[in-house]
Amino acid sequence: MQEKTLMLPGPTPVPPRVLRAMGTPMINHRGVDFSTLFTEVEAGLKDVFQTNNDLVILPAAGSGGMESAVVNLLSPGDKALFAVMGVFGQRFVDIATGYRVEPLVVEAPWGEAVKPEQIQEKLAADKDHEIKAVFVTHNETSTGVTLDLERVTQVVQEHPAILVVDAVSSLGAIDLKTDAWGIDVVVTGSQKALMVPPGLALVSVSQRAWEVVRENGCCSYYWNWEAYRKLTEKKQTPYTPAVTLWFALREALTMIREEGLKQIFERHALMAEMVRTGARALGLDLLAGDAVASNTITAVRSPAGINVKDLRRCLEAVYGVVVAGGQKKLAGEVFRIGHLGYVFPNDIINVLNALDLCLLDLGHDHEAGAAVKAAGEVLKRRGKEK
Ligand SMILES: Cc1ncc(COP(=O)(O)O)c(C=O)c1O
């Protein structure tokens, strides 16, 4: 059977080394072996989060990590500000309104980034400091847009609100300096840049955030961060951890350390440029402008007359390349190429080649081979710059 090439914004391909680590025999999660595993994973993760803050590692999807932030930091009736520029920004609003939090929202059209000034304006108008937390998406996976997070941290610091960042599709691929930028809470998931199968939500929590958590008094049993904090000293978790995923994460973190964060960020920037250049060489339009375009995922508009479903079907059935469709209001309008995690420039060449051939098959008019040629030039130029 043909092995498929996953070019999704998640789950991403899992390296063979990580898969092998998942075959490690089970251990006692209350014994010394798990404490060692915990210590190693914690150290590796702190490097990737660029933090000394505490970490909470939950057996959950990324959305579970998001929900845990809402329930630990806020109570019904609290006000919070949400920056929405696509599906995942909206998810935070939906989770919070489910807990009867009162949402204030700043928005950007899909394909654009929320401007830090929009957040600054709302916070400046909140003279009585009623806004308890600001929720932002670092990298909006539904549109392929990255927020100017560093600038956002600066404007949020003018107000006492806690800053919560959804970094599910950025952490470990796009620079995010948790401590240097003073971010209180960062949430990510295992199945993206961390190269681990889905199932772990990882959250960093600052001292300031812990104070809010204590004042708030969490209403949830499963998502209770305090329960995690108490057991962190013993290098254990309050209930049975997803041990196999921890084995996987330890191996993936070793790989990340071997390659180096800076090199990983550069590889992602290179792949994103290859995708954008290659797609444009086929005459395709991109949803996001270059100034806000993501290094981990690119949303490409399907050309007039070409059905996204037909295109994705061709890519998968003929070339074994799996890309994502558009979400919500972008369904049928765009397809999304994920280029994060265990993905390399040759994978980009592969997906662009398949795209070129499928588009030709579907009747699109372009010069055959143009995408690979253009992306190859980006690769050569970057190679020479080194
Ligand atoms: C930016 C962002 N936030 C949150 C999520 C939700 O993660 P999960 O699907 O693991 O719940 C995703 C998933 O794609 C995401 O890309």
Rounded to the nearest angstrom, the distance between the alpha carbon of 173 and the centre of ligand 1 is: 15
Rounded to the nearest angstrom, the distance between the alpha carbon of 153 and the centre of ligand 1 is: 21
Rounded to the nearest angstrom, the distance between the alpha carbon of 38 and the centre of ligand 1 is: 24
Residue 186's SS3 state is strand
CA distances, 249 to each of 17, 37, 190, 262, 301 (Å): 11, 10, 8, 19, 35
- CA dist., res. 152 & res. 182, Å (int): 11
Please give the average per-residue pLDDT across 175-181, as a whole number.
Answer: 98
Are 300 and 287 contacting, i.e. CB atoms less than 8 angstroms apart? yes
Q: Which CATH number fits domain 16-258: 3.90.330.10, 3.40.30.10, 3.40.50.720, 3.40.640.10?
A: 3.40.640.10
The yes-or-no verdict on residue 32 having pLDDT over 90 is yes
CB 169 less than 6 A from any atom of ligand 1: yes
What's the confidence (pLDDT) of residue 350? 97
CB 166 less than 6 A from any atom of ligand 1: yes
Query: How many residues would you count in the chain?
Result: 386
The yes-or-no verdict on residue 263 having pLDDT over 80 is yes
Please give the single-letter amino acid code of residue 97: T
Are 371 and 282 contacting, i.e. CB atoms less than 8 angstroms apart? yes
Query: Taking the domains of the chain in order of start, what are their residue ranges?
Result: 16-258, 260-385
Q: How are beta strands 145-146 and 139-140 bridged, if at all?
A: antiparallel
Instruction: Answer with the residue of higher pLDDT: 219 or 128.
Output: 128
CB 137 less than 6 A from any atom of ligand 1: yes
What's the confidence (pLDDT) of residue 218? 80
Average pLDDT across the chain, whole number: 97
The yes-or-no verdict on residue 27 having pLDDT over 80 is yes
What percent of the chain has a predicted confidence (pLDDT) above 70? Answer: 99
Please give the average per-residue pLDDT across 327-342, as a whole number.
Answer: 97
CB 61 less than 6 A from any atom of ligand 1: yes
CB 116 less than 6 A from any atom of ligand 1: no
CB 53 less than 6 A from any atom of ligand 1: no
Rounded to the nearest angstrom, the distance between the alpha carbon of 168 and the centre of ligand 1 is: 6
CB 253 less than 6 A from any atom of ligand 1: no
Measured from the Cβ of residue 112, the count of other Cβ atoms closer than 10 Å reads 18
Please give the average per-residue pLDDT across 320-340, as a whole number.
Answer: 97
Provide the b/e sequence for 183-203 (b: ≥16 CB within 10 Å). bbbbbbbbbbbbbbbbbbbbb
Which of the four pLDDT bands, split at 50, 70 and 90, describes residue 385? confident
Give the tens place of pLDDT for each residue, 157-170: 999 999 999 999 99
Are 96 and 73 contacting, i.e. CB atoms less than 8 angstroms apart? no
Which of the four pLDDT bands, split at 50, 70 and 90, describes residue 273? very high
CB 78 less than 6 A from any atom of ligand 1: no
Rounded to the nearest angstrom, the distance between the alpha carbon of 88 and the centre of ligand 1 is: 7
Rounded to the nearest angstrom, the distance between the alpha carbon of 261 and the centre of ligand 1 is: 22
What percent of the chain has a predicted confidence (pLDDT) above 90? Answer: 97
**Ligand 1 closest atom vs CA 170:** 1
Give the tens place of pLDDT for each residue, 287-299: 999 999 999 999 9
**Ligand 1 closest atom vs CA 66:** 4
Assigned CATH for 260-385 = 3.90.1150.10
